[in-house]
Amino acid sequence: MPIDSPKKRGRPLKNRAKDSRELARTVIVIDAFHTARKQGQKHTSAIQDTVDFVRQHYPDVPISPTVVRRILAQLQPADSEISLIVESSTPSDDDVARRLRLREQIPGFGGNSSATNSSDRRSKKTFKLRFGKRPHYSRHNAKVSPI
């Protein structure tokens, strides 16, 4: 495509390279959704809680209930036993200090770390991604089989 030609019209292609911000949004959404489900929320309520959580904690991230449904449908399809599992944790102060020391040893990272403030340390989360069995949340009105 020549430089001076007009931009291609229409909806962007879906098979393009994904931005790292999309991965971050996906991880945040899956973690928030499963946190809501573990607290006993129904599917629809968990989706709305996820949207509310992302809007409150990450106001610059574009999100809607439709986006949450698309992410779940893509990475945790109902007809598949395997899905993307996200586990989150908050690192201890010792872990943060160790990571900062390691970061200072890498050329290009030393001296400009913004995570030296103790309030920044507490707000950081660590995410572990893996593929595993799709989470199953039983219905609240499921019949209990007699033993």
Measured CA distances, 91 to 53, 99, 112, 127 (Å): 20, 10, 21, 10
User: Does the predicted model carry a pTM greater than 0.75?
Assistant: no
Q: What is the predicted pLDDT for the residue at 141?
A: 65
**1 Cβ neighbours under 8 A, 6+ residues apart:** 8
Query: pLDDT 10s per residue in the chain (147 long)?
Result: 456 667 778 776 777 777 788 888 999 999 999 999 989 899 999 999 999 999 999 999 899 999 999 999 988 888 888 888 888 888 888 888 888 888 888 877 655 545 454 444 445 788 888 898 888 777 766 667 676
Q: Give alpha helix (H) positions in the chain.
A: 20-38, 43-57, 65-75, 93-105, 118-123
Find where tokens 């586990």 sit: 87
Residues 94, 101: contact at Cβ < 8 Å?
Answer: no
Q: What is the predicted pLDDT for the residue at 135?
A: 82
Radius of gyration of the chain (CA): 20
Find where tokens 């990475």 sit: 75
Q: What is the predicted pLDDT for the residue at 119?
A: 45
